[in-house]
Structure 1
Amino acid sequence: MIVLRNVSRVFNTSAGPVTAVDDVSLEVGQGQIYGIIGYSGAGKSTLIRLLNGLEKPTAGSVTIAGQNIATANGEALRAARLKISMVFQHFNLLWSRTVSENIAFSLQIAGAPKAQIQARVKELIELVGLAGKENTYPSKLSGGQKQRVGIARALANNPEVLLCDEATSALDPQTTDAILELLLDINRKLQLTIVLITHEMHVVRKICHRVAVMEEGRIVEEGEVLSVFTHPQKPVTRQFVKQTTEYSSADTPFNAALVDGDAGSVLKLTFVGHNTSQPIVGELTLKYALPFNILHGKMTQTAHGTFGELWLQVPASGAQLENILADLHARAVTTEVVNHD
């Protein structure tokens, strides 16, 4: 559905050329929810403008639904943009129009018949959960309701791709989760391809199939969400993954440095999929007749599976510790020795 090949965007400024997007290549499959995450200045906003044709790449190609957006002009570009819609961080609603009128606006611009507009607006209001708010003005809506209007408006012309530019960053955590559930529901019902630009790993964890991590204009890491969460390779990715631990006030980040190092080795275990329900620690306790002290643990749910992290302390070293690590490896449990006794 979306293919970027060696895409760069360089801006000429008074201080010299600035590379906002640097040789980026990625693919987004039909019906995928794809997350692009990075801190401010990473190049995310420029990348999304390249996807909808608001920016032209300095080099490379941007192909969406078979159309090269990078070279399209005039009528070809307008036709390509009909397949792409956008949801914004700050809603961008027309304050003088009601919910129904906001949703109808893009259909009116496209010249759709009045009866078709009315039927489509009614359908979308039901889809995004705004029944009863048809005649309400934006000033009377909550942030989450405003974003639901924005999503409905973006879907009005039946796009093939939905771009979400920090669509939840202006919302509180509870409302964020509700909007993410709505996007997931829309993806399932319509098989719509969704690209999410965000700086929040919670957003990626909640609904994305794949994720690309951007830093200084480049994609430094890319892959399936579960794989990236359980085996982050780059420092910036590991920093983002930590957000999921700190997202809920119920989580207590674990600090291995505070553990008594004289009581044994501290191990960090990462379980994926069915391993999260296996009695692996109990089996090790029986096999080695050692007290495996559980220091901290948590489970994390992604759109495509669960993974768990568990910190243990065990009075073992040398060959015995190596045997324990080999047993864990044989059970497909990723293990890291945090410190030794």
Structure 2
Amino acid sequence: MISIQGLRKVFKTKTNTITAVDRLDLDIQDGEIFGVIGYSGAGKSTFVRLLNRLEEPSEGSIKIDDKEITELNTNELRLARQEIGMIFQHFNLLWSRTIEDNIAFPLEIAGVPKAERDKRVEELIRLVGLAGRENAYPSQLSGGQKQRVGIARALANNPKVLLCDEATSALDPETTNSILDLLVDINQKLGLTIILITHEMHVIRKICNRVAVMENGKIVEQGDVLDVFLHPKETVTKKFVEQVMGNGEEDDLEQLLAEYDQGNIIRLHFVGESANQALISQLAKKYNVDLNILQGKITQTQRGAYGTLIVQLLGNTDEIDKAVQYITNKTSVEVEVIRNVK
């Protein structure tokens, strides 16, 4: 669907040269929700603006549906942009226009007849959950409602791709979740490819299929969201994962080992369906061991749940070994032995 090769953007001033995007390669599949995450200054917003040439690339290739975006002339680019919707952090609505007039604006620009335009606007207002608010003005709306108008406007021309540049960062957590749920619904109903730019890992966790991590204009890590959460390689990725999972576990581990100084201590890594297994109760029934959950956290991604539990096992050594062996051989839960008492 989208193929990006060698993409580069250099900003030049009188005294300095800044490489905002540095020879970036990326493939995004048709119909997926793809996240791009990075801290401020990583180059992610410049990257997304290069995709529809709101910023002109210095070098590189951008292909959408085998159409080379970087080679289009002005008229061809105007037509191509109708297939690339975009929503922004600060909504960018026309304050003197009503909701329906804001949504209709790109259709007016495209020369769509009024009857057809009105029908499309009505469909979009229902889709984004704003029925009954058609004649309101942006100043009369909440932040979440304004972003729903922005989404409807971006969908007006039936785009194939939706670009979201920090679309939820100005919203409170509850409103953020409702907007993310709306994007998932749109993705499923319309088969739309969504590229989501953010600095918040919980946004990636909640709706994205795959993610690329940007730092200093480069993609330093990418993959399925669940895999990146489970096995972050780069320091910047680990920091983002800590936003969701917390970073106190290793600091607390020594204290746990000192406080619970008897028995074996294991860490269980749950992935996907295994996170929903009643494993602890199964072990207690099957083996003559006492189990004490010392610490744990489980969270959800689009591909399923994952998380960790730190468990103390007390009892006969042979029974403990059998219990650990059962987990290792009979389930998809990964076992890490932290303390093994013989």
TM-score by length of 2: 0.89
CA contact (8 A) 1:245 1:253 kept: no
Q: CA deviation at 1:103?
A: 0.5
* Residue in structure 1 matched with residue 147 of structure 2 by the alignment: 147
1:292 aligned onto 2:300: no
Partner of 1:210: 210
For 1:121, what is the secondary structure of its paired residue? Answer: helix
2:4 and 2:181 map into 1 onto residues whose CA distance is 28
Match for 1:234: what amino acid? E
Q: Which digits, 9 at most, give the CA deviation of each residue in 1:244-278, with x for residues without a partner?
A: 236xxxxx964324314334554332211221233
Structure 2: gaps of 5 or more residues: none
Distance 1:263 1:22 in 2: 53
Alignment partners' CA distance in 2, 1:266 and 1:43: 43
- Structure 1 pair 338–232 and aligned structure 2 pair: CA distance change class (3 A): farther
What is the Cα deviation at residue 312 of structure 1? 1.7
Shift of the alpha carbon at 1:169? 0.4
| SS at 1:70 equivalent | helix
Q: CA RMSD in A?
A: 2.5
Letter in 1 for 2:125: I
**Pairing 1:124–2:121 present:** no
Residue by residue over 1:34-80, the C-alpha shift from the partner in whole angstroms, topping out at 9 and shown as x without a partner, is: 10011111110111011111223222211112211122222222222
SS in 1 for 2:307: strand
8 Å CA contact retained: 2:289, 2:320: no
DSSP-derived class of the 1:78 partner: helix
Identity %: 55
Match of 1:258 among 249, 252, 255: 255
Instruction: Give the equivalent residue in structure 2 for 1:238.
Output: 238
Partner of 1:196: 196
- Asked whether the 8 Å contact 1:297–1:308 carries over to 2, the reply is yes
Q: What's the counterpart of residue 273 of structure 1? A: 272
Contact in 2 for aligned 1:63/1:69 (Cα 8 Å): yes
Q: Which residue of 2 aligns with 1:84?
A: 84
**C-alpha contact (below 8 Å) 1:87/1:165 kept by paired residues:** yes
Q: Report the counterpart of residue 18 of structure 1 in structure 2.
A: 18
Counterpart code for 1:258: Q
The equivalences for 1:330-341 within 5 A come to 330=329, 331-337=331-337
Q: 1:291 to 1:195 in 2, by over 3 A?
A: same
Tell me which residue corresponds to 2:50.
Answer: 50
Match of 1:301 in 2: 300
* Structure 1 residue 190 displacement after superposition: 0.5
Asked if 2 retains the 8 angstrom alpha-carbon contact of 1:200 and 1:240, the reply is: yes
Q: After TM superposition, give the deviation of residue 285 of structure 1 in Å.
A: 5.3
2:135 aligned partner: 135
Q: Give the match for residue 174 of structure 1.
A: 174
Structure 1 portions without partners, runs of 5+ = 247-251
Quick check: 1:94 aligned with 2:91?
no
CA displacement 1:279-318 (0-9 Å, x = unmatched): 43455556774433211223212122222321223469x9
* Displacement after TM superposition at 1:82 (Å): 1.6
Find the counterpart in structure 2 of residue 249 from structure 1: none
- Give the Cα–Cα distance (whole angstroms) in 2 for the partners of residues 167 and 295 of structure 1: 38
The one-letter amino acid of 1:313's match is Q
SS in 2 for 1:176: helix
Whether the aligned pair in 2 keeps the contact of 1:291 and 1:315 (CA below 8 Å) is yes
Residue 62 of structure 2 is matched in structure 1 by 62
Q: Is contact 1:3-1:26 (8 Å) kept?
A: yes
Equivalent position SS for 2:290: coil
TM-score normalised to structure 1 length: 0.89
Output the amino acid matched with 2:295. Answer: H
Deviation at 1:117, TM superposition (A): 1.0
Distance 1:62 1:97, change over 3 A: same
CA distance in 1, matches of 2:84, 2:102: 18
Which whole-Å CA distance do the structure 1 matches of 2:66 and 2:17 have between them?
31
* Cα separation, 2, equivalents of 1:328 and 1:234: 30
Superposition deviation, residue 101 in structure 1: 0.8
User: Residues 162-215 of structure 1: CA distance to partner in whole angstroms, max 9, x if unpaired?
Assistant: 000000000000000000111111111100110000011111111111111111
Shift in alpha-carbon separation, 1:144–1:339, aligned structure 2, 3 A: farther
**Following the alignment from structure 2 to structure 1, what is the Cα–Cα distance between the partners of residues 94 and 284?**
63
SS for the counterpart of 1:196 is strand
CA deviation after TM superposition for structure 1 residue 326, in Å:
5.9
**Local SS of the residue matching 2:144:** helix
Structure 1 contact 36–214 (Cα < 8 Å) conserved? yes
CA deviation profile, 1:83-126 (whole Å, cap 9, x unmatched): 10100000011111111111111111111111111111111000
How far apart are the structure 1 equivalents of 2:209 and 2:196?
A: 11
Q: Equivalences for 1:103-122 in 2 at 5 Å? A: 103-122=103-122
